[in-house]
Structure 1
Amino acid sequence: MSRRPAPLRPRPTATAPLLVALAVIGPLLAACGSESVGAGSAGAGGGAGAAASPTRTPVADPGMDGVRITSFTVPGDSAISAAYEVTNDGTETLTYSVIFTFTSSDGGAMDNKDVTVRDVAPGKTVRGTVRADQLPSSAPLVTGAKVFRVLKVPAAEAPAEPGTCPASGIRVSADRGDAAMGLRVVGLHLDNCGTDTYTVEGYPLLELLDDDREPVTGVKILDGSNEITTGAGPDEPPRPVTLKPGESATAGLVWRNTTQSGTPVNVPYVRVRAQPGAAPVTVTPGLDLGTTGKLGVRPWKKTELQ
């Protein structure tokens, strides 16, 4: 089962909310920062009373799925940070998507950071540092950090790093999504980052995968979203979409997270093929499908230039 990021503690003042709480792992990760291994956001974190010079405290953290925090640093003039390490005990090279949570003394979540650690070979350990955002002086002190969630996919199927282009010349990714009144929408993005024209028609092909990246059963994948909702407009028929280098297309995943009788279904991984024969890309939007048993898919549509 997928885990939801810990909700962020609001500021104690009524006029300045601390951070927007995270509601679901995939569609509602908008409150998370995003970092590459070894990188961090600038600025100091924590409230009043921070030490004049950095204080590094070793952490005895058992971690989760090969990811653990090794030390926590309270800053002088730099940001609160946590050192971590990622160890691949498997047999294939993996790319990790990790949520780290910075906490106050009572365990409340003060900041969540989403970090991607790429291409960790079997038996290897990769180390890095994650930094908290700057918090107001009125906020409770950040006193620790923990690993909240770990997702990992075969490196060959991981979405390409922003600013890079895979050998296929086609980059597939998923966005953070949107949610309102139980309705969820996640966008799939298809970018022609290569040098040749690329044409796609119809719907992206999906495989829903569980925590062990095994197929999820009992969910009907629908062409279109009208059976889920009509609030987003009528379904449009699929049409050929030709992308010149630098152009993009989008498709939508639409569902409701209604929970009634039965066991709720959470889908941490979605393996996507732009069309039959295309190389698979595994994205991690975190679909909280409730007990609805349905996922609507909208066809590829060319992205209009702004």
Structure 2
Amino acid sequence: MRRPRPRLLVPAAALLLATACGTEHPATGGGVGAAVPTPRATVTDPPVDGVRITSVTIPAASPTPSATLGSVHADPLPGDSGISAAYQVGNDGDEAMTYTVLFAFTTDTGEVMGNKKVTVPGVRAGRSTAGTVELGVLAPGASSVTRVKVAEVTKVPADEAPTETGACPASGVRLWADAGDAAMGLRVVGLHLENCGKRDYTLDGYPSLSLLDDDREPVDGIRILHGGAAIAMGTGFDDPPSPLVLKHGEAALSGLIWRNTTLAGTAVNVPYVRVLAKPGAAPVTVTPGLDLGTTGKLAVGAWKRADG
């Protein structure tokens, strides 16, 4: 009878992973060795905002000196690092939530060799779900990855989650924020809206914004200004509003504009922005991570027809 392989318990803070995969070549004898699956290092650290890594798999990149039956070498897919982490997302709240998780793949010293962002939609209250995140290809010359950690977690009510792809929401429109652009302390994040429904969708004005903190409670003391010129010229969001009629498949664009200048006082960071495309529209909560510094203001552009 084959004995079960023992499980390796390793804290996430010390994921020094003595793992290997591929083909085992015995030190003696002339036969070809059997394929050996990569063992996983089990992680027991507590969750970060409901998200925890349960195990990490990192193939050995060179012969492992501790192998008792001879040298063991990695045999991943061409170009693929073979590095992955299994994770679990648990929702202890009272409503379904959509989670966006940033996983960081690091060296022993904490230097980040790669990031992967994963969205886990619609985790029901009191339930959990599991998944696996893969690093994929390491950049040429990158140092060895030995650890994986949960770097950031954002979560929004499932019925307010932004949708860039997939099934068309009941509202008939998709709304999401892009990754944004930053230069010399100026930040610009695009708000995108697409009519994926069967009816025309009309716009005439500015999105309505509510700024929310980590607990999704209102953030006070921030002025919301109309037009990018209220912050800086040349952002592309200076024009006044004009009526738009979007047919199926057509899109519109607005933008969030701010500076992260920090002078006297306490810097303000806003992780969540609840957006209404127009009065009466279904709310969508985006996560642009507004680092407003001590400026106390944020500008929003009027909806305009998206190019292309």
Give TM class, smaller chain: 0.7 to 0.9
How is 1:1-306 mapped onto 2 (pairs within 5 angstroms)?
A: 51-52=21-22, 53-75=37-59, 76-78=75-77, 79-136=82-139, 138-160=141-163, 162-232=165-235, 235-305=238-308
Distance 1:163 1:119 in 2: 13
- Tell me the CA shift for residue 234 of structure 1: 7.5
Q: In 2 relative to 1, CA 281–122 (structure 1 residues): closer, same or farther, beyond 3 Å?
A: same
- Tell me the CA shift for residue 226 of structure 1: 1.4
- Tell me the CA shift for residue 264 of structure 1: 0.7
Distance 1:85 1:175 in 2: 26
Structure ID, larger Rg: 2
Distance 1:137 1:290 in 2: 36
Deviations, residues 253-299 of structure 1 (Å, cap 9, x unaligned): 10000011111111100000000000100011111111101101110
- Counterpart of 2:272, as a letter, is Y
* C-alpha RMSD of matched pairs (Å): 1.6
Q: In 2 relative to 1, CA 62–233 (structure 1 residues): closer, same or farther, beyond 3 Å?
A: closer
Deviations, residues 135-166 of structure 1 (Å, cap 9, x unaligned): 14632111110111111111111112513210
What SS does the aligned partner of 2:264 have?
A: coil
Structure 1 unaligned blocks of 5 or more: 1-48
Q: In 2 relative to 1, CA 115–233 (structure 1 residues): closer, same or farther, beyond 3 Å?
A: closer
Distance 1:89 1:191 in 2: 33
- Counterpart of 1:242, as a letter, is V
Q: In 2 relative to 1, CA 262–167 (structure 1 residues): closer, same or farther, beyond 3 Å?
A: same
| Structure with bigger RCO (C-alpha 8 Å, 6+ apart) | 1
- Tell me the CA shift for residue 233 of structure 1: 5.7
What SS does the aligned partner of 1:190 have?
A: strand
Equivalenced residues, count: 257
- Tell me the CA shift for residue 61 of structure 1: 1.8
What SS does the aligned partner of 1:55 have?
A: coil
Asked if structure 1 preserves the Cα contact closer than 8 Å seen for 2:89 and 2:130, the reply is yes
Distance 1:291 1:304 in 2: 34
Structure 2 unaligned blocks of 5 or more: 1-18, 23-36, 60-74
- Tell me the CA shift for residue 86 of structure 1: 0.4
Distance 1:235 1:178 in 2: 17
- Counterpart of 2:159, as a letter, is A
What SS does the aligned partner of 1:238 have?
A: coil
Distance 1:242 1:136 in 2: 45
